[in-house]
């Protein structure tokens, strides 16, 4: 396959144009790519607003810990600990409970602050996004989960999520230059090109 044909297939699969790629080579994002980031930001903020008001994993952990502690109390483990620890029993119980409560409150506080501050942070991020690039040999990976299958592209030390359309175009062992931005906790591919003519 020719370089031009392969790169055209990449552009189609990843939904970028030759003009986008030209700007990316200069370290800039195109207006169309900026619009893409705006849409991602809106979707992310919408999902964030629909998220539960509390950090559910820490709530579940606290409830589970309470159930286990209650069960151990019923079977007499608390009495055994009281006997073994003697005078240290209540200090250990109080300090342990306070540490557990402090951890729970801290997790809730962080979660609430993220919900409050992240939309503004994302907005500032997409107003002046930093474009990065990496060049290297491609490795493709598939992650099969119970309800979905994820595809990944590995270039050097960077790992990128791929759509089902894009994973059929990239070829393992070929050298690509990838242009991407960091958005929230994700890495978003902007464009890519096969560097066949640059290989020895």
For residue range 34-66, list pLDDT tens digits in order: 988 888 888 877 877 788 888 889 999 989 988
Closest CA to 103 of 150, 165, 57: 57
pLDDT at 169: 92
Dihedral angle over CA of 185, 40, 178, 134, nearest 10 = -30
The DSSP call for residue 184 is: T
pLDDT at 134: 94
The beta strands (E) that lie in the chain are given as 131-144, 149-155, 158-162, 175-183, 186-194
Count Cβ atoms below 10 Å from residue 150 Cβ, excluding itself. Answer: 12
Domain boundaries, given as residue ranges, for the chain: 3-26+130-198, 56-125
| Cα–Cα dist 167/153, whole Å | 8
pLDDT greater than 90 at residue 156: no
The DSSP call for residue 54 is: S
| Cα–Cα dist 199/174, whole Å | 9
Dihedral angle over CA of 57, 61, 62, 67, nearest 10 = 140
Structural tokens at position 178: 């990838």
The DSSP call for residue 146 is: S
Instruction: Say what the pTM is.
Output: 0.67
Of the CATH numbers 3.40.1710, 2.40.50, 1.10.150, 3.30.1490, which one belongs to the domain with range 3-26+130-198? 2.40.50
pLDDT at 37: 87
Yes or no: say if 149 and 120 are a contact pair by the CB < 8 Å rule. Answer: no
Structural tokens at position 100: 């557990």
For residue range 1-28, list pLDDT tens digits in order: 688 899 999 999 999 999 999 999 999 9
pLDDT at 23: 95
What mean pLDDT value characterizes the chain? 87
pLDDT at 82: 78
Q: What is the mean pLDDT of residues 160-184?
A: 90
Q: Quickly state the pLDDT bin for 199 (edges 50, 70, 90).
A: very low
> Residues, the chain, total?
200
For residue range 179-191, list pLDDT tens digits in order: 999 877 778 899 9
Closest CA to 187 of 129, 112, 124, 110: 129
Yes or no: say if 108 and 55 are a contact pair by the CB < 8 Å rule. Answer: yes
Structural tokens at position 161: 């999520």
For residue range 98-132, list pLDDT tens digits in order: 999 999 999 999 888 878 877 777 777 667 788 99
Number of alpha carbons in the 13 Å side-chain half-sphere of residue 151? 13
């Amino acid at each position: 396959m020719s370089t031009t044909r392969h790169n055209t297939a990449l552009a189609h699969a990843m939904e970028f144009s030759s003009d986008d790629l030209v700007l990316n080579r200069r370290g800039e994002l195109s207006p169309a790519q900026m619009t893409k980031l705006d849409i991602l930001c809106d979707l992310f903020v919408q999902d964030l607003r629909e998220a539960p008001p509390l950090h559910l994993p820490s709530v579940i952990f606290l409830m589970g810990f309470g159930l286990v502690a209650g069960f151990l109390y019923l079977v007499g483990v608390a009495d055994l600990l009281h006997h073994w620890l003697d005078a240290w029993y209540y200090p250990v119980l109080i300090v342990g409970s306070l540490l557990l409560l402090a951890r729970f409150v801290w997790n809730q506080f962080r979660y609430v602050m993220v919900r409050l501050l992240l939309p503004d942070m994302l907005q500032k991020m997409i107003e002046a996004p930093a474009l990065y690039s990496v060049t290297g040999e491609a490795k493709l990976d598939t992650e099969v989960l119970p309800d979905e299958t994820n595809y990944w592209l590995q270039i050097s030390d960077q790992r990128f999520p791929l759509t089902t359309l894009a994973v059929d175009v990239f070829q393992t062992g070929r050298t690509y230059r990838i242009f991407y931005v960091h958005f929230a906790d994700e890495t978003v591919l902007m464009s890519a090109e096969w560097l066949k003519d640059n290989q020895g």
